[in-house]
Amino acid sequence: MMQTNDITEKLTNFVNMKKSLNYLPANKRRDLRQLVEIIRDEVEDVVMVILYGSYARGTYVDYDQRIEYGVKTYFMSDYDLLVVTEKRMGNEEQTTYAKILRRFYTNRAWEISTRPQFINESIGELNKAIDKSRYFYTDIKREGVMLYDSGKYRLARRRKLNFGEISEMAKEYFEDKFPFANRFFENSKRDVRDNELRMSVFNLHQAAENYLRTIPMVFILYGYKEHDLASLMNQCKKHTLEIYRVFPQDTDEERRLFKLLQDAYVQARYNKNFVVTKYDIDTLIPKIERLRDIVDTVCRERIAYYDSLIKR
């Protein structure tokens, strides 16, 4: 179990933001420079433009086309951009994005061009989120690239939280993510009644994924962006080993069931020949029930532990 000093260390400082795009190809750098120019022209009080996501990390996919289970699919990573303004755009936000996209796609074949995706936040709210270690925004600061900085403001530092704040955030994350997983679980049982077995196992996967994602959100206030259940279990084992009682994988049948659940995220949606039996569902449902109960228990115990450390 993570000790008190480990928690506070996990929630404190990290490196300054990157500014160089030299790791990207020339055409990508041109795209991003043009986007910044258009944003500065269309958004009156923009103070920063930050690239985040796969293009910031260097893990982007430029263009991937394939046949998956008889269905032609393609995937391209987006340019994920945080547009920071003095005040939030409000009602004008979507109209502004539409103007930016029209200008960006001028003389471009939009079907094969990388698509920009925007989110807007005010500098005040962004700094509050970083100050309080909100994982989405602190990820952006840690991994992002500053494409434009007006110099008028500085980003906050991630500060050491007290246990009252840690407890408050852990409760907030738990009360959001755990019921979300419960809804997937209930949907999977409804799908069984409707004899939609492929949809049922997909929802079981989603329930398991979100139950597992709940644990690090409570223990370290961080949400892993994973669909791979084995990877999520590996992250969770730092906080509890109980989850391995649900999926022991110590027999061929246990390994088969776990692989079926793992594969369901893709195959249940795209492979019409993906075989799922009523026996499979009836065997997996008690496992997900047990996972739910373990996550409920360990997370509530962790929040109670935080509360016990609050100086009264």
Both tokens of 123, joined, read 């500098």
- CATH 3.30.460.10 domain residues, the chain: 11-149
Specify whether the CB–CB gap between 152 and 262 falls below 8 A: no
Pairing mode, if any, of strands 64-68 and 71-75?
antiparallel
Q: Give me the mean pLDDT over the 96-120 stretch.
A: 87
Rounded-to-10 torsion of CA 132, 137, 143, 146: -110
In whole numbers, what is the pLDDT of the chain averaged over residues?
A: 88
pLDDT-based confidence at residue 74 (cuts at 50, 70, 90): low
The CATH architecture one would assign to domain 11-149 is 2-Layer Sandwich (3.30)
**Percentage of the chain exceeding pLDDT 70:** 89
CA 35, CA 130: separation in Å to the nearest integer?
25
**pLDDT above 50 for 5:** no
Which helix (H) or strand (E) is 281 found in, with range?
A: helix 278-309
- Ranges of CATH 1.20.120.330 domains, the chain: 163-309
**pLDDT tens-place string over residues 172-212:** 999 999 999 999 999 999 999 999 999 999 999 999 999 99
The CATH architecture of the domain made up of 163-309 is Up-down Bundle (1.20)
- Taking 60 as the threshold, does the pLDDT of residue 311 lie above it? yes
CB contact at 8 A, 170 and 21 = no
